[in-house]
Amino acid sequence: MITEVHDVLARYRDAVYDQDVDAFIALYSPNVRIFEMWKAWELLGHDGARTLSSVWFASIPAGEKVAASFYDVHIREYDDAALVSAYVRFSGCTPDANGHFTPVRHQDNRITWVLERVDGQWLIVHEHTSAPIDDESAKAMLHREDLVEEGAHKIWSVRPEQAGDQANVHGINAAAFPTLEEAELVDALRVDPDAWIDGLSMLSFDGDRPVGHALLTRCYIDDVPALALAPCAVLPEFQFTGAGTAAINGALDAARAMGEKFVVVLGHADYYPRFGFKRAVDHGVRLSIEIPEEAFMVLSLQDQEEFPCGTVRYAAAFGI
């Protein structure tokens, strides 16, 4: 169940991603006591929160972002107090030539919050971050490898696009990419009856706010019907949180339930295999344009390993 306390996690994530000191301080009670992992036994009040965030954000290399992803979140909420415990992964993300951020390193911590409700708003009155210590090296263990992005999806809800969602879908895609090309592509596909399939434009939500989008449209492998996964987009402040994974899984599950068999995707070779995608060239599936072989992938939705051989024909709006 999504509660008001989840909004604190979302605002913390946003403040860290935006490196916004004032937004970070606003999460905390003026009387907060922070037990921090690094360099200080404790930090007190808004001055302490300002010191924590200012030093942290100043240490982030220029042009980089830090994405905070929460996992295994436990919340106990009472009338005017709440307890939160979770694992949090801080991913350092660098931009590519197109302005897309990709995680290049990460650190995992444990975090515990005590919150109090003040004038209807939840504020952090105590924070404790920690990591276990390795017995042999006496060093902090900052990488928990069994934390995976899919673990974050439990706080996301998903549903197909409905009437009235078009502006939100456009906004997500416009915000996620450097140009309006992807947002306009979705608009063009929506009015193409040969491409659009109701129920396969999927949104993921943070509470009641749509933050992620994944789209499947009709394509063909020679003459065999298939689906093209594109575009996939997440609002920048929600990237690397599981919102994209939730939207993609929702779209693939819906297609599978419709009896669709094959999906193709042109994208990051390190990302899409987690959904079961494999190199298309290894199964005789190709595009009519030259692309890195590892970037073009196929997926069987029905556990059918015999992919049809041939060249993929996308909907006209793709221009491929």
Sign for the CA dihedral angle at 252, 258, 259, 260 comes to negative
Give tens-digit pLDDT for 4-55.
787 788 889 889 988 999 999 999 999 999 999 888 899 999 999 999 999 9
Q: Which residues pair with 212 in a beta bridge?
A: 204, 234
pTM exceeds cut of 0.85: no
User: Given the structure tokens 């302490």, which residue do they identify?
Assistant: 48
CA distances from 183 to 48, 66, 70, 102, 213 (A): 42, 25, 28, 21, 11
Domains of the chain, each with CATH number or no CATH: 4-147 (3.10.450.50), 157-318 (3.40.630.30)
Helix, strand or coil for residue 136?
Answer: coil
Cβ-Cβ contacts under 8 Å for 118 (sequence gap 6 or more): 29
Q: Which of 1-10, 221-230, 305-314 has the lowest mean pLDDT?
A: 1-10
